[in-house]
A and B are shown apart, each in its own frame.
Chain A
Amino acid sequence: DAKTTQPPSMDCAEGRAANLPCNHSTISGNEYVYWYRQIHSQGPQYIIHGLKNNETNEMASLIITEDRKSSTLILPHATLRDTAVYYCIVRGGQAAGNKLTFGGGTRVLVKP
């Protein structure tokens, strides 16, 4: 699986958009970008995933650059409950067994 690079931490003001960057310069053509988050003392929670097109769901938007070497997760209106560690994961194909390879993630603190 391709390696991802994320900033270790970032702060965000409540009610503002949170933009979480992720670099994955070695991503290959059949690998998807997944985002999960983990709120303290809970299991990871799926947020969104994409291949090459931008994606949006009720939780977030995912913007993937045209060369697919980086992406940004956007939380449109951050709330205090969005405080969590956010993981950007590049997910391998059949040979990788579809397991998730987590990095260190970005610790996001939403402040009032």
Chain B
Amino acid sequence: DTGVSQNPRHKITKRGQNVTFRCDPISEHNRLYWYRQTLGQGPEFLTYFQNEAQLEKSRLLSDRFSAERPKGSFSTLEIQRTEQGDSAMYLCASSRGGYNEQFFGPGTRLTVL
């Protein structure tokens, strides 16, 4: 257990539905990252926050995706109008500052039927 928690651990949804995932980072960490991992591939960067500010978004993050970190603590990742191609493991990580190691949560596995 790294101290980063994610909920839910598994989500099955039908195509076209909206889903929201939550990440609770290690409390003193100011950086929070979201990654996506498809089967057999390494994780791919989606976006990151420093405190409550979203500082970078990958081109992978289409306009159906939105992430927030309202008080600089927990973060949510919402996917609207899910597609089958969104099926993946969504990983959250946190760190103290930019150069320190990132601690990953267990991930949320999304299956879109």
Counting CB contacts under 8 A, is B43 at the interface? yes
Give A32's nearest chain B residue, CB to CB: B99
Q: Are A42 and B99 in contact (CB under 8 A)?
A: no
Name which of A12-20, A66-74, A102-110 contacts chain B.
A102-110
Q: Is the CB of B48 within 8 A of A99?
A: yes
One of B14-22, B71-79, B102-110 at the interface:
B102-110
- Does more than half of chain A's interface fall in helix, strand or loop, or is it mixed? loop
Category for how many chain B residues contact A:
20 to 34
Query: Measured between alpha carbons, how far is A102 from B44 in the docked complex, in Å?
Result: 7
> A-side interface residues toward B, CB under 8 Å?
32, 34, 42-46, 49, 85, 87, 91, 94, 97-105
Contact check, A46 vs B42: say whether CB atoms are below 8 A apart.
Answer: no
Please tell me if the beta carbons of A98 and B101 are within 8 angstroms of each other in the complex.
no
Decide: B107 and A43 in contact? CB cutoff 8 A: yes
State whether A43 touches B91 (Cβ < 8 A): yes
Residue of A nearest to B43 (CB): A102
